[in-house]
Copies of this chain bind each other. A is one copy, B any other.
Amino acid sequence: MIKNEIALGIDIGGTNTAFGLVNSEGKCLFKKSVSTKSDEPAENLFYRIFEVINSKMDSEESLSGIGIGAPNANYYKGTIENPPNLKWEFVNVAETVSNFSSAPVFVTNDANAAALGEMKFGAARNMKNFIEITLGTGLGSGIIVNGELVYGHDGFAGEMGHTIIERNGRECGCGRKGCLETYVSATGIVRTYFYLLSKTMNKSSLKAKPRSEITAKDIYEAALKDDPVALESFDITAKYLGMACADAVGYFSPEAFILFGGLAGAGDLLTVPAKRYMEENIMNIFKGKVEIILSELNSGDAAILGAAALVFHNAGNKTTEAAVNI
């Protein structure tokens, strides 16, 4: 790989889409965010992105590739299918982008992109087996086995957030009950907090606030001030995370779980008890072998770096047959 290769990384979110130019050393040379506007055709979004990008690149420069992270993106097909929080039903991303650039296009979901970014530029630089866990509104995961993402036969593997951690547990947006993300995510910890308010007699500084206004960040800040309900909310969240990691270790025997995204900002408050609960629940042969650590991707650039890593990873592996060229 030559040093001056440049990838365009695009992270499509429900409200905003971040994009930027990244070199092969993980330096973000330029970045910008625009409204996604999924009530318009996806082509309009890419038109606006390339209008900016083309103005930023010299005529003799060319993109090594375009990496796109998006919800419900399918790596094999280069498509986005029924994404939550977006109004598009189906987008053939590779085909749409080919109207604006001839560079190879790689598409994957945001958690997979974060995992590749972590392996290329972050805390997993020396790892070949790890699981990236993204803790936002839900829980996403990007699973790396032997240096490669686990896509499964249909491209949708890696749904750790929808493995069942509690039989007949909390209702999940996916229509089932007890999914990990109903306990371990920004919304999961708020549910736990309100459960504890109903169950215990403990006083909480947030008690007066209506549920719809309380965020994971409020609970984090209350926990820092020793609010007992907030502290217990973190402990329960860490317990479910630790139990889930213990199970995942049985399948994958990873070197580490790497936490990324909003709730990961709680740092030690989450990782220290999660590690303890994982050790309590893990098989003997795996004890003391697996870490739970925080992402080392710069949070401001992380999504763009992840999407760009998709380009460098595939180029580096010379498995460019995976690139969807129209």
Measuring CB to CB, which residues of chain A are less than 8 angstroms from any residue of chain B? 127-129, 143, 145-146, 148, 150-160, 162-164, 166-167, 174-176, 243, 246-248, 250-255, 281, 283-286, 289
A284 touching B174 in the complex, CB below 8 Å, given contacts A148-B146, A152-B129, A251-B251: yes
Task: Return A7 CB to nearest CB of chain B, in Å.
Answer: 23
Give the chain B neighbours of A254 by CB distance below 8 A.
152-153
Cβ A175 vs Cβ B253 within 8 A? no
Specify which chain B residues have a CB less than 8 angstroms from the CB of A155 in the assembled complex. Answer: 253
Q: How many copies altogether?
A: 2
A289, closest chain B residue (CB): B154
Residues of B within 8 Å of A246, CB to CB, are: 164
Say whether, besides A163-B250, A163-B251, A250-B162, A283 and B152 are in contact (CB < 8 Å). Answer: no
Nearest residue, chain B, Cβ from A243: B164
Q: How far is the CB of A17 from chain B (nearest CB, A)?
A: 23
Q: Are A156's CB and B286's CB within 8 A?
A: yes
B167 touching A252, Cβ below 8 Å: no
Are B164 and A281 closer than 8 Å at their CB atoms? yes
For the complex, give the distance between the alpha carbons of A252 and B289 in Å: 22
Contacts of A283 in B (CB 8 A): 159, 162, 174, 176
Flag if B252 contacts A150 (CB, 8 Å).
yes
Inter-chain CA distance A167–B166, complex, in Å, is 8
Report B-chain residues with C-beta under 8 Å of the C-beta of A167.
166-167
Q: Known contacts being A145-B150, A150-B252, A167-B167, is A156 close to B285, with CB within 8 Å?
A: yes
Most buried by B among A129, A148, A250: A250
Q: Would you call B129 and A159 a contact (CB within 8 A)?
A: no
Min CB–CB distance A108 → chain B (angstroms)? 14
Whether A247 contacts B163 by the Cβ 8 Å rule is yes
Partner of A154, one of B156, B160, B164, B253: B253
CA distance A253 to B150 in the complex (A): 9
Let me know if B286 and A255 touch, CB within 8 A: no
A167-B166, A251-B159 in contact; A128/B145 too (CB < 8 A)?
A: no
CB-defined contacts of A129 to chain B, threshold 8 Å: 152-153, 157
| A281 with B152, Cβ < 8 A, contacts A164-B247, A251-B143, A252-B157 known | no
Q: Is the CB of B175 within 8 A of A284?
A: yes
In the complex, are the beta carbons of A253 and B163 less than 8 A apart?
no
